[in-house]
Amino acid sequence: MVKTVSSNEMWGGRFAEGPAAVMEAINVSIGFDKRLAQQDIQGSIAHAEMLSAQGIIDPQSAEAIMQGLAKVKAEIDAGTFTFRTELEDIQMNIEGRLTEIIGKPAGRLHTARSRNDQAVTGFRLWVRDTLDGIDAALADLQLAMAEKAVVHAGTVMPGFTHLQSAQPVTFGHHMMAYVEMLGRDRGRFRDARARLNECPLGAAALAGTSFPIDRHRTAKALGFDRPTANSLDSVSDRDFALEALAAASILAMHLSRLAEEIVIWTSAQFAFVKLSDKFTTGSSIMPQKRNPDAAELVRAKSGRVYGSLMGLLTVMKGLSLAYAKDMQEDKEQTFDALDALALSIAATAGMVRDMEPDAKRLKKAAGAGYATATDLADWLVRTLKMPFREAHHATARIVGLASARNIDLEKLTLAEMQSVEPRITAEIFGVLGVANSVKSRVSYGGTAPVNVKKQARRWLAQLAREKRAPR
């Protein structure tokens, strides 16, 4: 008959009675930290192997521990493992089940470690794994955007400032703006990953251990670059989670900005792009509606990510060294934020691939609001050698003439323009169309279709190289 391990046995002789029900309720974390099971087992295997190699535990105990952990992992993978609230967290649940399977040798596994360094090691491993997944998802989103940019490198659309028509750009150029943003986001996540990639295992409760452990061995076994250098910092540091959440918050903001644009673009008033039924929903009362709910939810989830960052900052701000139970509140917020972020990235990639710009509608809108006025001013400077400020004033007067007649700039006659500036020639009409405007923006980073295609193809090549490179 298998003996069931109780919470009192795990705690030892200090406690004669079990916890009050409310104490168990506030103290228990297995409901959420069970998702760290794989990482905890991974850390326990590395620890047991090191203990055996250092002669701290005998090889037979180490072998029994390995076999027992393999069985625990198989149960968890199969969904047959029973997570018990009285054992509080994932660390004690796994150790408790290991004890039931192999008996006394299980007690040797916790030699030279504490739940403090054990738990934070598993959490670091989870955050690292998750950041790798986010990086891959962001690469896919960049790919979707760059591919869309190549197709629509010459699709003219209005560029806005203050949500007012400013200058014509191209849809491809707009997509590439987000590719650049996501590139910076990926850089922030990679920086965060590099800083978190130190192993706290072996720091024990807070002061290190008197056992002759080899922390470099366990760090290497777990794929860390090195062990953490200070035992106090090792168990009390949550910078790695905070930095991941800070990077996540900036990314969520970028995704929310695009989501807001998609909401605007798909409205009947703009009708710049269309989303299919895959990424829209209907109304329970208005049969004509096609609502951009995926975009709206991406926009909303940014608030959850921000809240998680502020929540964990608030948890940590008043804690003296080293570990305090407050830090148990680190995981739910990080899990929630990075889950929401991963879903937002996937939904955004889906919308980008799904949405179809209305080229005719975009081109018409691009010319609204006298969007080529800057091109006229630039022509006056470039051709007539006027100081820009004078050219600006002259252009404003010409725009006033067009506005008074409620026509586009290119519909003015040459004589009307010459009434403001006599030196203007018929050559001016070559720069006033929106297509000519975007073609002329050939400065590095400008919206000229040739630039957009070049930048998009550069990114596509870079993303292809990244995909081929081993991780």
Catalytic residue IDs: 162, 283
Task: Take residue 161 and report the two structure tokens written for it.
Answer: 């400032």
Burial of 244 (0-12, 13-18, 19+ CB in 10 A): buried
Residue 224 carries which side chain, given as an amino acid letter?
Answer: F
- Output the CA–CA distances (angstroms, integers) from residue 75 to 40, 63, 82, 224, 435, in the order listed: 14, 19, 9, 27, 63
Cα separation, 408 vs 406, whole angstroms: 7
Instruction: Check: CB of residue 56 under 8 Å from CB of residue 211.
Output: yes
- Give the 3-state secondary structure of residue 199: strand
Cα–Cα–Cα angle for 447, 452, 456, rounded to 5 degrees: 150
Q: Residue for token digits 């929540």?
A: 311
Q: Helix H segments across 197-284? A: 215-221, 231-236, 239-265
Q: How far apart are CA 438 and CA 154, in angstroms?
A: 8
